[in-house]
Structure 1
């Protein structure tokens, strides 16, 4: 089942229709974390940024499997778009908020620093909330019956004959 999920990940690179089960989503996701870490550290040893190439190669199929996973729970691709944005916005907001606190204290509390501090804190909070909710959606079991995105995914049951 693990190999089948990973092969299906690459076969359906440009397939935004239909549905994918939790294993179809999580097997490639977790596999690519290990592949990325290996190439990132190996690239650091030989001074070549190999990790970015792994990310570029897996970007489109990862997005499509995310869309199909959301379809399995009868949701649109909105969180497939928001998830990577929140994964970038949250850390940047956190860093800017952290720096903004020191700038606020150092400048005596100007309005510009206050605005930057508020926007960066909101970016951090909104990014974390969207990322956590998206992960919650990826963990949810899919519909056992057909939905508006088709009849594949979690509603397919395997039967074994003796």
Structure 2
């Protein structure tokens, strides 16, 4: 087991450009969760460093490899992608399904932007729209991109985010999903095609990230196909007699020492036939030895 785990890390390191082979579940799940764990552990420290630079009105380091989380993400991007493709191949699936995580992230960003703009604008107290207007005015009055970031960071640092988040969460909790359904029903009654199109797009954006992630997880948990498939031979050992509970021949590895050619087999067969014929004539027919 230890050798298989170490082999998984070796394959991840030395097969980072191999998009055509196969990789077992063990090889995938020994590597990918550990990488993401390190990324998320380093992410708060990197974010705090960038935030500190912005509050001091100082441009943070622009080298992505200066930050541990971003550097590890970029450094392992191609190896992670190739490992995902090989895992799909091992399960008998096309490597095109490796796009699922990117689809989930894209739909998640669209959903997040929609929520971040819809919730503040629906705040009856005016807090959400006020924050958005203040941010837009601050950015427009700043002389440069970094100047705008410095000003926005200073404003954000001076706000009471606990009270703001409490207010916005209260607005989100009071949201009426039935209102959206009523609007969709009215739109469908007026124009069925447009109503169904709106409902399909809304469902796709709302549930798409979760469906894509669940489908990706399902593919990564599929068992390996035994034997060969279109992408090569299975990395798993084939089932032998020993795996079915039968004893293994300890001398099977030395069989090549006594292996004969076809000509030698024919000569041996002819010699045995002659020996049997001679023994029959001498013992049964009573003929003397020739």
Q: What TM-score does the superposition give when structure 1 sets the normalisation length?
A: 0.77
- Cα distance, 1:55 vs structure 2: 0.3
Aligned positions of 1:1-162 closer than 5 A? 1-44=4-47, 46-47=49-50, 49-81=67-99, 83-99=100-116, 101-102=118-119, 103=121, 119=201, 121-154=203-236, 156-157=237-238
Aligned pair in 2 of structure 1 residues 150, 118: CA closer, same or farther (>3 Å)? closer
| Number of equivalent positions | 156
Query: Aligned with 1:144: secondary structure?
Result: coil
Contact 2:227 2:238 in 1 (8 A): no
Structure label with greater radius of gyration: 2
Higher RCO (Cα < 8 Å, 6 or more apart): 1
Aligned pair in 2 of structure 1 residues 53, 59: CA closer, same or farther (>3 Å)? same
Gaps of 5+ in 1: none
- Cα distance, 1:77 vs structure 2: 0.9
Please give the per-residue CA displacement for 1:76-110, whole angstroms capped at 9, x wherever unaligned.
Answer: 111112x222231232233234346545798xx8x
Aligned pair in 2 of structure 1 residues 92, 42: CA closer, same or farther (>3 Å)? closer
- Cα distance, 1:12 vs structure 2: 0.3
Please give the per-residue CA displacement for 1:24-83, whole angstroms capped at 9, x wherever unaligned.
Answer: 1111101102221233244346556321111000000000000000000111111112x2
Task: Give the distance between the partners of 1:41 and 1:104, measured in 2 at CA.
Answer: 31
Task: Give the distance between the partners of 2:19 and 2:201, measured in 1 at CA.
Answer: 34
Task: Give the distance between the partners of 1:117 and 1:41, measured in 2 at CA.
Answer: 38
Query: Aligned with 2:232: secondary structure?
Result: coil
Superposed CA RMSD: 3.4
Task: Give the distance between the partners of 1:66 and 1:97, measured in 2 at CA.
Answer: 30
Task: Give the distance between the partners of 2:33 and 2:239, measured in 1 at CA.
Answer: 24
Deviates more, 1:45-54 or 1:131-140: 45-54
Contact 2:19 2:86 in 1 (8 A): yes
Task: Give the distance between the partners of 2:68 and 2:199, measured in 1 at CA.
Answer: 35
